[in-house]
């Protein structure tokens, strides 16, 4: 007869051997879900340049971004493309263990200056989601020529609407079409017919009408802004993601949960960095504001 203590020991062993997955709210995930965190970045710029910006919680210093990318390299955590993740969800390929996807929203030119060199150096790929109205109009954003350079470097380009608007607030079907389909048509006109298979919702604002518009426009998949690291094919039009902050402990919890207790500290902020923090900004380690 098995003793109660031995039975308890066996139960604990089985639980650790077969952990259950859960989303960001602790709800069980479907059995066909994959844990492939989609990391979301926005501004990558020095603290002195970020002073006075509207959303300091969306800004990361270049040295912190470099430290996060170097961690992935040092720990041999595979960085896969957005397409690879979608194909894995479709059952067309198998991804390596602990894989992650890197994405950038908005198309700000500081991503080109401060993130692309790091990605190229480490051999990483990423997906960039610009809102098209800013291209060639605002010097703080990419030009079309710069996006073509990204394509040539192996990066993926998706759409973030035309004017960076909330699709959940749109009541006009014509406007919805212009923001979702029009932005994709322009990206394809400028970057080629093979461009722009993916969509990212501005502000993470989701809506059934938005899902329908994304599907009708012919996108292959769409990315939300929050939700956690688990996705299944049922999430195709609202793939869950995780906004990144400068909190290295939180970063490691996302990309390398088994090593989280030994997470390295982020590079110390220089004195000007204090000026970038204003009342009401998100606390370190908390998810950034939806953009």
Which tokens belong to 117?
A: 């060199």
Q: Choose among 89, 142, 65, 103: nearest CA to 291.
A: 103
* Secondary structure (DSSP) of 245-276: -S-HHHHHHHH-GGGGGGPPPPPPPPGGGGGG
pLDDT of residue 228: 95
How far apart (Å, rounded) are the C-alpha atoms in residues 178 and 181?
6
Tell the CATH superfamily of the 32-276 domain.
Glycoside hydrolase/deacetylase (3.20.20.370)
Show pLDDT as tens, one digit a residue, over the chain (291 residues): 444 444 434 332 333 333 344 544 444 556 679 999 999 999 999 977 766 566 667 899 999 999 999 999 999 999 999 999 999 999 999 999 999 999 999 999 999 999 999 999 999 999 999 988 888 888 999 999 999 999 999 999 999 888 888 777 777 888 888 888 989 999 999 998 877 899 999 887 676 767 788 888 999 999 999 999 999 999 999 999 999 999 999 999 999 999 867 667 777 765 544 443 333 333 333 444 445
pLDDT of residue 175: 85
pLDDT of residue 270: 59
pLDDT of residue 29: 55
Answer yes or no: are the C-beta atoms of 157 and 150 closer than 8 Å.
Answer: yes
Q: Return the SS3 of 44.
A: strand
Which tokens belong to 254?
A: 């996302």
How far apart (Å, rounded) are the C-alpha atoms in residues 265 and 242?
19
pLDDT of residue 58: 87
pLDDT of residue 51: 64
How far apart (Å, rounded) are the C-alpha atoms in residues 266 and 71?
11
pLDDT of residue 210: 73
Q: Choose among 36, 119, 113: nearest CA to 70.
A: 119
Q: Return the SS3 of 102.
A: strand
Distances in Å between the Cα of 274 and the Cα atoms of 181, 243, 267, 279 are 41, 21, 14, 12
- Burial of 281 from C-beta contacts in 10 A (0-12 / 13-18 / 19+): middle
């Amino acid at each position: 007869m098995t003793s109660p203590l031995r039975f308890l020991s066996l139960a604990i062993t089985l639980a650790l051997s077969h952990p259950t997955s859960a989303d960001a709210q602790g709800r069980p995930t479907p059995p066909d879900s994959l844990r492939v965190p989609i990391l979301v970045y926005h501004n990558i710029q020095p603290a002195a340049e970020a002073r006075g910006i509207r959303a300091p919680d969306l800004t990361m210093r270049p040295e912190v971004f470099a430290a996060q990318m170097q961690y992935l390299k040092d720990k041999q955590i595979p960085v896969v493309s957005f397409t690879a993740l979608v194909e894995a969800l479709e059952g067309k390929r198998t991804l390596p263990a602990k894989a992650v996807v890197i994405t950038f929203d908005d198309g700000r030119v500081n991503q080109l200056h401060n993130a692309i060199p790091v990605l190229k150096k480490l051999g990483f790929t990423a997906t960039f989601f610009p809102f098209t109205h800013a291209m060639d109009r605002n010097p703080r954003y990419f030009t079309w020529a710069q996006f073509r350079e990204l394509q040539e470097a192996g990066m993926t380009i998706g759409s973030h609407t035309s004017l960076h608007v909330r699709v959940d607030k749109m009541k006009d079907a014509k406007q919805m079409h212009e923001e979702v389909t029009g932005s994709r048509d322009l990206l394809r006109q400028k970057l080629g017919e093979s461009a722009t298979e993916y969509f990212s919702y501005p502000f993470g604002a989701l809506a059934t009408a938005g899902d329908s518009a994304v599907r009708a426009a012919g996108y292959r998949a769409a990315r939300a802004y929050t939700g956690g690291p688990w996705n299944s094919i049922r999430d195709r039009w609202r793939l869950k993601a995780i906004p990144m902050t400068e909190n290295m402990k939180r970063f490691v919890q996302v990309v390398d949960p088994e090593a989280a207790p030994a997470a390295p500290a982020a590079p110390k902020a220089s004195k000007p960095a204090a000026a970038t923090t204003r009342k009401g900004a998100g606390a370190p380690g908390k998810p950034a504001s939806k953009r």
